Structure 1
Amino acid sequence: MTAASAPRRSDATRAAILDAARRRFAEDGVRKATIRAIAADAGIDPSMVMRYYGSKEGLFAAAVDVRLELPDLAAVRADALGELLVRRFVEIWEAPPGNEVMLTLLRSAVTDDTVTERVRQVFAEQVMPAVLRLGDPADAPRRAALIVTQMLGLALCRYVLRIPPVLALTPDQLVADIGPTIQRYLTSAPAD
């Protein structure tokens, strides 16, 4: 084995572990997923999972490292903000690995305080900064929180509960139907 091939094998093993972990966490939840099952799904020995990630908690943290990559809202036409955000969230939810990561976070946050804190962290570090670029910064927490309620509600109904009428909507229909609500959240003033 050459020195050049070792990192590639290591990278491939890490990727296989993360793929298997995301699927297993999404299907079974954090508590029920086991290192042994994840290793079996990845086709490796469980000791390799521990070697690369140290613990189930370390593996979970790596598996749910979500990067929303939200667009710079200040650089977008004011009337297109809501549609753009809905489209971005739907893109994340519709394709791997984002869909597995987000599903894991959504399912697990209800029962696991560590995951709940991770969701709050994503909100604080990724959603809030995007919304802070628009309107009154003092009102950004309210507006960002309303956006999250809408997007997580959509995700719950479409990807967890799988409510048939919501499942039947195309991504473009979701953008058209929910975009105006997100637009209102982004641009509204607080009620008196």
Structure 2
Amino acid sequence: MTARRSDATRAAILAAARERFAADGFERATIRAIAADAHIDPSMVMRYYGNKEALFAAAADFDLRLPDLGDVAADRVGASLARHFLHRWEDDETLMALLRAAVTKEAAAERMRSVFARQVGPVAARLAPDPAQAATRAGLIASQMLGFALCRYILRLPPVVDLTAEEATAWLAPTIQRYLTGEAQPG
């Protein structure tokens, strides 16, 4: 019975942390506020997670939920990924909180690196002319999508914010496709 209560407490803490980090960002979210949202004492948060950085890392276990791309023609994967990324950014505040925190907190930056390496790396390995370049290609895709997300959702640059999802996909897809299947041009 204690294990079930412990699991329920952890789940309540993580749910409250995800909502609080998404609403307030890493810097403004407090252990006290997260505990209040979870209806527990702040000492319980510290008992289970140790500190705010560790709690954030646990709460920001983000899944890109990449679609099965097996049926997508190799030359259309860039468009599919661009469309998918845009949809995920639009619908998940956790990713925004993670992106904001990754700029200043190493635990969040490591989580972001892990998400892209673990989830985009296999797609790059499958499509790359040289699978040994998968990590580089996944990193370049991350640079494109994270840069776009930063400009659209956090900095809110008007020309980028004003793009429809279709327009943004049209701009992003060729670059992602090149990162997946293209060859680097010398010079």
Global fold match (TM > 0.5): yes
Give the superposition deviation at 1:17: 3.5
Match of 1:117 in 2: 110
Match of 1:145 in 2: 139
Letter of the structure 2 residue corresponding to residue 117 of structure 1 = E
When the two structures are superposed, what TM-score results if normalisation uses the length of structure 2? Answer: 0.81
Q: Following superposition of structure 1 onto structure 2, how do residues 82-97 of structure 1 map, counting pairs within 5 Å?
A: 82-95=78-91
1:80 equivalenced with 2:73 (yes/no): no
Question: Any conservation in 2 of the 1:128–1:140 contact (CA below 8 Å)?
Answer: yes
Partners of 2:74 and 2:106 lie apart in 1 by 37
Give the superposition deviation at 1:24: 2.5
Structure 2 counterpart of 1:126, from 114, 119, 122: 119
Match of 2:64 in 1: 68
Partners of 1:153 and 1:36 lie apart in 2 by 32
What root-mean-square deviation, in Å, do the aligned CA atoms of Structure 1 and Structure 2 show?
2.7
Give the superposition deviation at 1:129: 1.4
Gaps of at least 5 residues in structure 1 are: none
When the two structures are superposed, what TM-score results if normalisation uses the length of structure 1? Answer: 0.80
Partners of 2:80 and 2:24 lie apart in 1 by 32
Q: Following superposition of structure 1 onto structure 2, how do residues 7-18 of structure 1 map, counting pairs within 5 Å?
A: 11=8, 16-18=12-14
Percent of matched pairs sharing the same residue: 60
Letter of the structure 2 residue corresponding to residue 39 of structure 1 = A
Question: 1:86-130: CA deviations, max 9, x gaps?
Answer: 1221121111xxx22211221111111222222222222111112
Partners of 2:16 and 2:93 lie apart in 1 by 10
Question: Any conservation in 2 of the 1:74–1:133 contact (CA below 8 Å)?
Answer: no
Partners of 2:135 and 2:78 lie apart in 1 by 16
Match of 1:105 in 2: 98
Gaps of at least 5 residues in structure 2 are: none
Compared CA separation, residues 14 and 90, structure 1 to 2 (3 A): farther
Match of 1:165 in 2: 159
Give the superposition deviation at 1:146: 1.6
Moved more, 67-76 or 127-136: 67-76
Structure 1 counterpart of 2:180, from 167, 179, 186: 186
* Matched pairs, number: 184
